[in-house]
Structures are given as structure tokens and as C-alpha cells.
């Protein structure tokens, strides 16, 4: 019986784009959990208009296909700020004009004051980020959204690492994304995951990228969920 999973075209296009843009790199990288990862995803390298605009297209396509209903977008500082703005622009271009807001790391004591910037935070609020490493940013965002009287309704990320979370150096049985969906009861919409990355490495015609397939597979077998 053939148990192979059919490729997700949007996810495969995104992984190829991230590799070509130099945002998804291969080698040996130490993660926050102290693991040596064979790949590294740095969304801060979506650093020009063309790359950021293309990234926003991927987020928008995935969100519109998910049917997740939301009234506005919230981007936690700092990476979430540009992501929220870019997604808002792309959704408006597609006929879905959504307001967005973000937070400051430090409260402003003059002008309008406070930590929240942008549109009033109300209704069903979608949180946008690049990845979910430990769920800390999501929990902080939930606290700010609920304090404003609004309702967090979901999270969207670019890449789901699909690996076990770690606390105090101990591997958990769940991933950070699973923690958000199960413990915080929020759906998570990701453009691609580690399984999609592995599928790309196993089928790409790029020999430099394909050479890292075994290392990524081994990492997934050790830390994957």
C-alpha cells in the first residue's frame, strides 16, 4: 500500500521561495532549546519589498483557503509588525480589507500613550508571526488582546517546525504549535511545515539543497512530533 503523502503545492512553492531567498538555510545551527538543527529559518531576511510582498501572498492564500474568520490582524513586536502590515496590504489587494495593530516593547508615556499601535483592537483577532518556538509570544499577545476587550481567534505562521517543545532541557511530548492548538484552544494556520521541507529536499532538482535531506530526516526522527 502506498502511504506517500501528496505534496501540498502552496507549501512546496513556499519552501522553494524561502530557499532561493536565502531565508531557509542549511548547515548546523543551535536552536533556543540547545539542539543542533540542520536548517535555520530566518524571516528577518525577507528584507526587501519583493520578498516581503511574496511572503504576504503566501500567508493570504493559506488564510483564505483555511476559512478562518477574523476581523483584524495583530503582529507582536518585532517581526510581527512588518508581517501584519504586509498581510493587511495583500488582503486588501485581494478585496479583504482588514485593519491591523501591533505592540510596542515599551509603553509610551506621551502622545496617545500605551503599548498598542494601529487600529483599535476589537472583534476576532488573528495573531501573525514567523514561527512558534515556545508559545511565549502567543501567550503575551493573547493577554494584550483580551485586555483590550477583544477575542483571539487564531494564529498564522510561516513555518511549523513540527518538533517537540523543550522545557528546562527536557523534551516534551508535544510541539509548540500543538500546545497553542490544544492548551490555548487556538487554531494555527501555517504556510508550510517540516514535513513539507523534507518533501522538497527529497524531490528538488537543486543538488545543494538535496544533499541535506538525510540530515533533516534524522533530525525529524529524533525531535519530530
Residues annotated as catalytic (active site), given as ranges: 108, 110
Q: Which three cell numbers stand for residue 160?
A: 511549523
> What are 34's strand-pairing partners?
none
Q: Centre a 10 Å sphere on the Cβ of residue 41 and count the other Cβ atoms it contains.
A: 19
Q: Which of 37, 34, 129, 17 is nearest to 77 (CA)?
A: 129
Q: How many CB atoms lie within 10 A of CB 25?
A: 15
Rg (CA), the chain: 18
- Nearest by Cα to 72 from 93, 101, 95: 101
CA 8 to chain centre: 17
Amino acid at each position: 500500500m502506498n502511504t506517500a503523502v501528496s505534496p501540498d503545492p502552496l507549501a512546496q512553492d513556499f519552501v522553494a521561495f524561502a530557499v532561493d531567498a536565502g531565508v531557509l538555510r542549511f548547515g548546523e545551527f543551535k536552536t533556543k532549546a540547545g539542539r543542533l538543527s540542520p536548517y535555520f529559518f530566518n524571516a528577518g531576511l525577507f528584507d526587501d519589498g519583493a520578498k516581503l510582498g511574496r511572503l504576504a501572498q503566501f500567508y493570504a492564500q493559506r488564510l483564505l483557503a483555511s476559512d478562518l474568520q477574523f476581523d483584524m490582524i495583530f503582529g507582536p513586536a518585532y517581526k510581527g509588525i512588518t508581517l501584519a502590515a504586509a498581510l493587511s496590504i495583500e488582503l486588501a489587494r485581494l478585496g479583504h480589507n482588514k485593519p491591523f495593530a501591533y505592540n510596542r516593547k515599551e509603553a509610551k508615556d506621551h502622545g496617545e500613550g500605551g503599548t498598542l499601535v494601529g487600529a483599535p483592537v476589537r472583534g476576532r483577532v488573528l495573531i501573525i508571526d514567523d514561527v512558534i518556538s515556545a508559545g511565549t509570544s502567543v501567550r503575551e499577545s493573547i493577554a494584550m488582546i483580551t485586555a483590550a476587550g477583544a477575542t483571539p481567534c487564531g494564529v498564522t505562521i510561516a513555518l511549523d517546525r513540527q518538533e517537540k517543545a523543550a522545557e528546562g532541557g527536557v523534551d516534551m511530548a508535544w510541539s509548540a504549535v500543538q500546545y497553542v492548538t490544544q492548551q490555548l484552544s487556538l487554531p494555527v494556520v501555517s504556510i508550510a511545515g517540516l514535513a513539507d521541507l523534507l518533501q522538497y529536499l527529497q524531490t528538488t532538482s537543486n543538488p545543494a539543497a538535496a544533499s541535506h535531506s538525510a540530515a533533516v530526516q534524522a533530525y525529524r526522527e529524533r525531535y519530530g512530533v
